[in-house]
Amino acid sequence: MKTYIVGNWKLNFTVGEASIYLHKLLKTLPNYRDIEVVVAPSTIALQPLSLQVDRHKIKLGAQNAFYRDYGAFTGETSFSQLRGIADYVIVGHSERRYIFGENDKMIQKKVAAAIRNKIMPILCIGETESERAFGETTDVIRDQLIGGLTDVADDDLSKVIIAYEPVWAISSTKAAKLATPDEIAEVVKLIRKTLADIYGEKKSENVPILFGGSVGSANAGAYLTIPGVNGLLIGGASLILSEFVDIIDTAKRVRS
């Protein structure tokens, strides 16, 4: 299985800035067979970057899309419009859930729409600080995972990536707020078991599971050596070229 390094640029970079960053990243990176590098710029930058990117080195991901393929939905971008432009799409990110009010039903439709349009969804799941404090982590992870995959058939499970992002650990610089390897390993094991219960053990083993939560070059190696973790979903650190390249280099060393 490949190791996935995904940079979520969120609401950062103009189109020009994104283009310059991608140009520098392409010049820096060699071709990796076993590392899949993905960057997810803002929607407005996706199309011009798709004309610039070398997909042997880097794939493009969308940060969001709407589940209907066409219609009267002012301001939205559909998965069908992103087809051929984005290879991946981030679905169910905590910021979409808690800032924009997306629920499991909407996320389930987005996962299905992504697969329908041949874009691989990266389904994000994760508990809040209060949910963890009240011992609800298991229920939250199961509910979000099952909810997001409701419309995914057995044969389509291989077209999905799962990203565990504990909400309480995102954008944290405090050691006390960082997820420990043991905490991550426990949830990754739960995700794998839940997938096995639904789809069978053999199919569940082929689903990549990523971790995201204040990932940087200093802790990427530790996260990548956790059993069952197949890659990283990176926010702020992906905006700094040297930091992002260091994380990719770390992934290569871990794979070696």
Q: What is the pLDDT of residues 215-255, one digit of tens each?
A: 999 999 999 999 999 999 999 999 999 999 999 999 999 98
Report residue 123: phi and psi, to 5°.
-85, 115
Nearest CA to 165 out of 120, 109, 122, 105 is that of 122
Instruction: Count Cα neighbours of 206 within 13 Å in the Cβ-side half-sphere.
Output: 11
Find the CATH number of the domain harbouring 181.
3.20.20.70
Contacts of residue 15, defined as CB under 8 A and 6 or more positions apart, other chains included, come to 44, 45, 48
Q: How many Å apart are CA 104 and CA 110, to the nearest integer?
A: 10
Does the pLDDT at position 210 exceed 50? yes
Q: How many Å apart are CA 44 and CA 31, to the nearest integer?
A: 27
| Stretch (H or E) spanning 201 | helix 201-204
Instruction: Count Cα neighbours of 42 within 13 Å in the Cβ-side half-sphere.
Output: 13
Give exposure, 56-71, as e/b (b: 16+ Cβ within 10 Å).
Answer: ebbbbbbbbbbbeeee
- Cβ atoms of 94 and 104 within 8 Å: the answer is no
Residue from 95, 102, 131, 165 carrying the catalytic annotation? 165
Across 96-112, average pLDDT? 96
90 residue type, one letter: I
Residue from 36, 93, 127, 243 carrying the catalytic annotation? 93
Check if 165 is active-site. yes
Check if 93 is active-site. yes
Q: How many domains does the chain have?
A: 1
- Report the pLDDT value the prediction gives residue 170, as an integer from 0 to 100: 74
Structural domain containing residue 169: 3-255
- Report the pLDDT value the prediction gives residue 22, as an integer from 0 to 100: 98
Residue 98, classified by CB atoms within 10 Å of its CB into exposed (0-12), middle (13-18) or buried (19+), is: exposed
Does the pLDDT at position 176 exceed 70? no
- Report the pLDDT value the prediction gives residue 175, as an integer from 0 to 100: 47
Across 86-98, average pLDDT? 96
DSSP 8-class letter at 154: G
